[in-house]
Chains A and B, each alone.
Chain A
Amino acid sequence: MKEKRQKPQDPNQLLSRDSWFELGLRTLFPFLGVLVALLVSAVVLLFLRVNPLAAYAAMFRGAFGSMSGWYQTFVKATPLLLVGLGICIAFKASVINIGGEGQIIMGALAGTAVALRFPDAPAFMLVTTCLLAGFLAGAFWGFIPGYLKARFKVNEILSTIMMNHIALQFMNYLLSGPMMDPEARSAGTFLAQTARLPAGSWLTRIVPQTLMHSGVYIALTLAILVYVFLWRTTIGFRIRAVGLNPQASLYSAINVPVNQALSMTLAGGLAGLAGIIEVLGVHRRIIEGFTGGYGFTGIVAALLGSLHPIGLIPASILFGGLLVGANTMQRAMQVPAALIQAILGLVVLFVSGSTLGIQQIIKKRRISVTAAIKEDQS
């Protein structure tokens, strides 16, 4: 410290170094959370008489140990990224969207209905319409809780959870009734799934012999677009302002409820898109349980990516990998994939518990840096 005082430093340099420090801290802590969660889960595994090292090794091998593992990871990361992007937008307006699951379902149902209705439409048009329908249906499902929050101050966490259950039952109803696969009906199996979608609606598989589909590109493009939207457009600015300081936004004539409802609608749209992309790219029909819990895992990925669209990309890949690895682990070690869910819960608890600590460290550091700068200038 004494050295510094003798030799005046460029304040800008000090500040920029400081922001790197902040970025590092904000990025590092969540990953520390993953490590802690893995450690705690290791204890659970020991209790279940499973060697945690072997289990984790199997998990890692499955996700990242081979090219096909990587492709599967990317396939799972795609919906996580899309859902997570929506959660980022909502979070920026301090709205918590737990409704990913329901929005995924509604998006998938709407897109599927379009694809089944117009099987002979030109491929490009059909795919675009399906994606649009998915986005709109998801957006509608996000708009309802968004509107209820804006208009009646209905707690959005509770309402989105209820919307999830309603969507799930609605899907169950359609899959066992109006939208049931006619073949399953005539064959008498009564499988709860829709008919196979027309080939024109499929998203191209970009790597032969794998499930890797072109939805990955859509998700990555949207990550950049959402970044631009939030930090380079007026609406994006308003949304962030509402989250950062609702009081100040009010005085600057930014309509807080409207922007919160808007952020929820966009979040729903992105989750709806995730749903239809998952259907068009992977299953090519709606099957029971196709959502794979992405609506919830997306929240965890968003938290881990520091609620930043770009930070979300590595976070989704990590969690996509965990999901793929969990399946490998289940096959190799007979450890149920539900372990991942327990890990996710611990990650959320850790990340939410450490947020304030990080803020305080950063605050202290900022004060000392400002003091140092002042000293240099005097």
Chain B
Amino acid sequence: MRDIFSFNVLAGVLQTMLSLATPFLFAAVGETFSQLSGVVNLGVDGIMLLSAFFAFYTVLLTGNIWLGLLVAIIVGLLMGLLMSVVSVTFKAQQGISGIGLQILGLGLSSLLFKVLVGTVRTVSGFRRMRIPLLADIPFLGPILFNNTVLVYAAFLLVPVSWFILERTTLGLKIKAVGQNPSAADSVGISVNGIRYLSVCIGSALAGVAGASISISISNLFQDNITAGQGFIAVALVYFGGWSPIGVMGGALLFSFATSAQIWLQVLGVDIPASLAVMIPYILTIVVLTVSVNRGKQPAALNKQFFRGEN
């Protein structure tokens, strides 16, 4: 038992944690944009699945990881456009349309995978990129500065998003549309335009989240490879109080739980695997229950906007 608590194991747990936080960060920060504008996009998981497949397939065919990433973003954008058309233009109930998007993504990715690939195959995805000097810092260096590009990008995304949301006109417009669409509309902000943009930003980032699973973490694709991570990402937005920084805290908490569970199994600690896998899902429910940030919820969240009626 003693070696469980050794430095090496701790370093392993922490590094796995950073890498597992990547998809959560991209998806949840993206969803923050979407929700701040008033649209709950529950289809994140479906977008991640489809993007994960296309990123994987592109890399399998061409070997070009950057092209794979680009394709994932495009797929995410297209799915976001679909979500926007249904939920913003046609004013669908967002819970339902999001589930539709999720089922579509799940079905389509599974169909394409079975027809185009068929068996489990691996690709060589993003490699770890060691940052000189910084990586030489004892203990913390190798953990923080020896990761894939996507890990760095995910953590860079947090301050960038914070800046966009808090310090730019666009961020102000997004929040205005989510708080009081009628008022925003009356000062000439296009409510639908901003919501389209926010949903598409969120979906493109969900696309990157999908790619980070299939061409950076696992380097493979299989049916329902996200296992509900997209939904956890949506929950993280509530947990994080609609702020990129809060979301990052949540993402780290979840990836730490997952990482610790994986390491416990690797080390052969005797708990049934399926019970260990349950932990993040139970944690999500707990987190949703105790989230104290409800006051910060955008006032028009999950509400359709009818011009001139409210």
Contact = CB atoms under 8 A, between A and B. Distances in A.
A282 interface: no
B4 interface: no
B92 A353 contact: yes
Nearest to A348: B100
Nearest to A164: B228
B104 interface: yes
A157 interface: yes
Contacts of B108: 44, 338, 341-342, 345
B110 A165 contact: no
B206 to A, nearest CB: 16
Contacts of B227: 165
B153 interface: no
Contact of A344 (B107, B231, B238, B275): B107
Contacts of A349: 82, 86, 92, 97, 100-101, 104
A355 B99 CA distance: 15
Chief secondary structure at chain A's binding surface: helix
Given A176-B272, A338-B114, A351-B100, 8 more contacts: A154-B288, A169-B274, A169-B275, A170-B274, A173-B274, A338-B107, A339-B107, A345-B107
A37 B102 CA distance: 15
Interface of B: 42, 46, 82, 85-87, 90-93, 95-108, 110-112, 114-116, 223, 227-228, 231-232, 234-235, 238, 272, 274-275, 277-278, 281-282, 284-285, 288-289, 294, 304
B102 A345 contact: yes
B56 to A, nearest CB: 16
B238 A346 contact: no
Given A158-B235, A345-B104, A346-B100, A169 B278 contact: yes
B104 A44 contact: no
Nearest to B82: A349
A48 interface: yes
Given A336-B114, A339-B107, A341-B103, A348 B96 contact: yes
A153 B281 contact: no
B99 A157 contact: yes
Contacts of A277: none
A48 B100 contact: no
Nearest to A37: B104
Interface of A: 44, 48, 96, 98, 148, 152-155, 157-159, 161-166, 169-170, 172-173, 176-177, 296, 299-300, 303, 335-336, 338-349, 351-357
Contact of A176 (B100, B105, B112, B274): B274
Contacts of B101: 345, 349
Contact of B95 (A96, A148, A343): A96
Nearest to B276: A169
A112 B42 CA distance: 34
A10 to B, nearest CB: 34
A98 B102 CA distance: 12
A299 B100 CA distance: 10
B274 A357 contact: no
Contacts of B272: 173, 176-177
A221 B115 CA distance: 41
A353 B294 contact: no
B96 A96 contact: yes
28 contacts: A152-B288, A155-B235, A157-B95, A158-B231, A158-B235, A159-B285, A159-B288, A162-B235, A162-B285, A163-B281, A166-B278, A173-B272, A303-B96, A336-B114, A338-B107, A338-B110, A341-B104, A341-B110, A342-B104, A345-B106, A346-B104, A348-B99, A349-B86, A349-B97, A352-B93, A352-B97, A353-B85, A355-B92
A155 B282 CA distance: 14
Nearest to A158: B235
Most buried by A among B102, B103, B294: B103
Nearest to A165: B281
